[in-house]
Amino acid sequence: MLAAQVNVFGRPETVIEIVEQADPGEPGADEVIIEAEFVPINPADILNLEGKYGAVPPILPMIPGAEGVGRIAKTGSAVRHVKLGDRVLLPGPGCWRECIKAPAKVVFALPGDVDPKQLAMLRVNPPTAYLMLHQIAAPKPGQWVIQNAANSGVGHCLIRLARLAGVKTVNVVRREELVAPLRAFGGDVVLTDGPDLDARVRAAICEAALPLAIDAVGGSGTQRLARCVSDGGTVVNYGMLSGEPCIVDGRETVFRDVRLQGFWLRKWFVDTPPAQIADLYRELTSKVANGTLAVEVEAVYPIRKIKEAVAHAARNGRSGKILVSFARE
């Protein structure tokens, strides 16, 4: 089977290689074999290829990929809850390979009639948006939340999930041409970033309560969001898109009691009982199925073109996600 592998960290499209690996063989009694269909290339994958992701350096060689979708190709003798042909989420990490052997308890059958490309993006970004919205400062219906990098996959999920919860969104982007499409997608206010962001936000929301800011950028981007939240509000940093450490001025933390905290989905997976994780995925799957959660796809590359796919995913100014397909040619 084919896999995409990294032997050394560096420039993503240079270090990623296609390798031939042994098939995973037969499943044990409580295992399944999954044939991958689609995987997205996320910013975390790019950081991973550069050796910049997370607190613990991963071991090389490494097969990247935190998520994707595939079909059950074989089941172990004791497996009852999924069957041959069922579509399931790929259990990461290590999803960029044609076949994956996994414990059956980590997979569940997805609806068969939902776009698999959308399902390939279900595992990471939708729960990230959901948990940051509902489990940290939890704005009440009628209140506002602000986010930067609002045209990202997470950003799109947050817009739709906030709308469902009756929470209004201020969406900050760095390109003027994104304002109209994000308004059409459901963003209540869409603004370009800049030094006077806080004044423009206050004017746009008429000084209403804004208890939560969601920051994927870091650096001075964090500070610009911190200036927008209400006194006692929270800035949640969950991304490192600028590559800079978060800056928050003492005027916000000391005099206005604004707090900065982090969010990492992987920690939630570790800390949360499996039944609760399954409940959230059931809820989010239904929202992908009915089109509430939807993320644009800019291009789909076959796995053999992984270098082009990774280079494309690392580019700024995309109109959507880059996916990799494992369709057998």
Ligand X SMILES: NC(=O)c1ccc[n+]([C@@H]2O[C@H](COP(=O)([O-])OP(=O)(O)OC[C@H]3O[C@@H](n4cnc5c(N)ncnc54)[C@H](OP(=O)(O)O)[C@@H]3O)[C@@H](O)[C@H]2O)c1
Q: Site residues (CB under 6 A) for ligand X?
A: 42-44, 124-125, 128, 149, 151-154, 174-175, 216-217, 238-242, 263-265, 316-318, 321
Using CA atoms, how far apart are residues 273 and 130, in angstroms rounded to an integer? 17
When the beta carbons of 99 and 212 are compared against ligand X, the nearer one is: 212
Distance between CA atoms of 49 and 12, rounded to whole angstroms? 5
Residue 88 or 149: the one with the smaller Cβ distance to ligand X is 149
Rounded least distance, CB 57 to ligand X, Å: 17
Closer CB to ligand X, 174 or 259, in the complex: 174
Q: Which is nearer to ligand X, 33 or 95 (CB)?
A: 95
Q: Nearer to ligand X by C-beta: 171 or 325?
A: 171
Q: State the minimum distance, in angstroms, from the CB of residue 121 to ligand X.
A: 8
Task: Give CA–CA dist 231/271, Å, rounded.
Answer: 30
Give me the long-range contacts of 195-198 (CB less than 8 A, separation at least 24): 195/224, 197/172, 197/224, 197/225, 197/227, 197/228, 198/224, 198/227, 198/228
Sign of the dihedral through C-alpha 103, 104, 107, 112? positive
With CB atoms as reference, the residue minimizing the distance to ligand X is: 239
Q: 2 vs 241, which CB is nearer to ligand X?
A: 241
CB of residue 34 to ligand X, shortest distance in Å? 22
Closest approach, Cβ 20 to ligand X, in A, equals: 29
Please enumerate in sequence order all residues whose Cβ is within 8 A of that of 291, keeping only pairs 6 or more positions apart, or say none: none
- Dist. CA 148–CA 231, nearest whole Å: 19
**165 CB-contact burial (10 Å; exposed 0-12 / middle 13-18 / buried 19+):** middle
Instruction: Tell me how far, at minimum, the Cβ of 268 lies from ligand X, in Å.
Output: 8
Minimum distance between the CB of residue 78 and ligand X, rounded to whole angstroms? 33
Distance separating alpha carbons of residues 181 and 118, to the nearest angstrom: 19
